[in-house]
Copies of this chain bind each other. A is one copy, B any other.
Amino acid sequence: MTLLVVRGDREFLVERGEELHTDLGVLDVPDDAEPGDTLTTHLDEEFRVRELRGPDLFDHMERTGAPMVPKDIGIVVGNTGVCAEDRVLDAGTGTGVLSAYLGRMGADVTTYEIKPEFAEVARENMDLAGVAENVDVRAGDLTEHLDDVVEEGPFDVLTLDTEDAPEVVERAPELLASGGYVSVYSPFVENARAAAETAREAGLVEVETLETIQRRMDFDERGSRPTTKGIGHTGYLTFARTE
């Protein structure tokens, strides 16, 4: 299992038994290092050992594009109720942060990534997340395998982050169990609208598109206020479910 050794802003991924060279000296990671241990470099500088949690995965996974941010992953989970034992079908794996989060909740995830080299990176990222067992990263275009994938169903949740999401939404009634959810992530209004319209045409219910604006608060000795730095738009999330 890959661990994190941490000291202030310094964070390094390490394997047990590894020798890590840092600007604060060389760190020997013992074979029996455990989360919570304190390790010391040859210059006597201390690092803490940590197990990777969801936000650490977001920070340390190898990126093949802009990954879905924790805010949007959270909104997907909150609005679909993904849980352990759920069967999730995902398309547009990318870096795989969403798949890793869902896998870590005990869901059984099948995820399609159209670029084989990105799928390969995503597989390594699932290893890092400790979810290689329950996240199946497939290189390919889900829209070309829908007939077969329907046979593998039903799924409880469908999470889509691809431009051609509407083509999958059309088949959601066949792919999903009763009461199952589809979520579509769309950077642009037009895509979000197309997803919502396709969901309605496909007979899905509780169709809604949400935009979520998140701001950090600044608390200092002068007072409290939302940050003056601004936090930008990420994407719209469209949800719908089968009856």
Contacts and interface: CB of A to CB of B under 8 A. Distances in A.
Which DSSP category, helix, strand, loop or mixed, fits chain A's interface?
mixed
A219 B233 contact: no
Interface string A185-218: 0011111110011000000010011111111110
B78 A106 contact: no
Q: How many copies does the complex hold?
A: 4
A22 interface: no
A104 B79 contact: no
A230 interface: yes
Contacts of A79: 55, 70-71, 74
Given A35-B178, A226-B233, A104 B77 contact: no
Given A49-B178, A188-B224, A74 B78 contact: yes
Interface of A: 4, 6-8, 35-36, 48-51, 53-57, 69-84, 101, 104-106, 154, 156, 177-179, 181, 187-193, 196-197, 205, 208-217, 219, 222-234, 236, 243
